[in-house]
Amino acid sequence: MALNRVTQIDDSVPIRNVLISVSDKTGLPSLVAGLRKINPAVRFYSTGGTFAQIQVLLGDEAPGCLHQVSDYTGQPEMQGGLVKTLDFKIYMGLLSETYNQAHRNDLKRTGCIEFDLVVVNLYPFGATVGQSEVTLEGARANIDIGGPTMLRASAKNFLRVASVCDPSDYLWLLEELSAGRGALGLKTRFELAKKTFQHTAAYDTAISGWLSSRSFDPSLPYHFGATP
């Protein structure tokens, strides 16, 4: 099967559907309020603690603009939140090229929406393994899977989707959106994609480096200890 080769690109993309799931909730109230001010019709799709906080922030307005990812996908979360966003309807909405008629047909056929903005930051693996008493299981549990996957998918499709992985970019993002009357330009989406791939690469490097510091030792719990 031939790879897609895009020949038509939308320079300015209105932000209407936001997929948001953040471990670090710094700046979340300002981001949600800012996005709502710029576009009162914006819709949020979220999970877990992020959904709960946005629900409180929106109050009585939440039912009209805030949606559980599980309600959208039709699939409940796996026990412990292990699987929340790894779903076909999420990734069709992230990777579709809406100027592609076949993709538009697929979106219509499956009832998928196209996500315009992804706001995700990851489980704190680095902070976890920085603790002196961290266990292998504690580290393993803090390896994020869904977060990097959403970020990578949205960054790959920067032709249409904006990916945001750093809370310090929220203010700048809102300024760009305000100047663009609720839309983001291609240059902005490209810059965000570059930062996103740097972020996910650093995250995987941290995981790989820490696991490489472990050695198999049958005398220890879980059979792993620090490599001398």
pTM, to two decimals: 0.86
Q: Which residues contact 107 (CB under 8 A, 6 or more apart)?
A: 92, 93, 96, 98, 113, 114
Superfamily designation of domain 12-226: Methylglyoxal synthase-like domain (3.40.50.1380)
Extents of the domains making up the chain: 12-226
pLDDT tens for 2-21 read: 667 777 777 889 999 999 99
SS3 breakdown of the chain: % helix, strand, coil, rounded to 5?
55, 15, 35
pLDDT tens for 124-158 read: 777 667 776 777 777 888 888 888 999 999 999 99
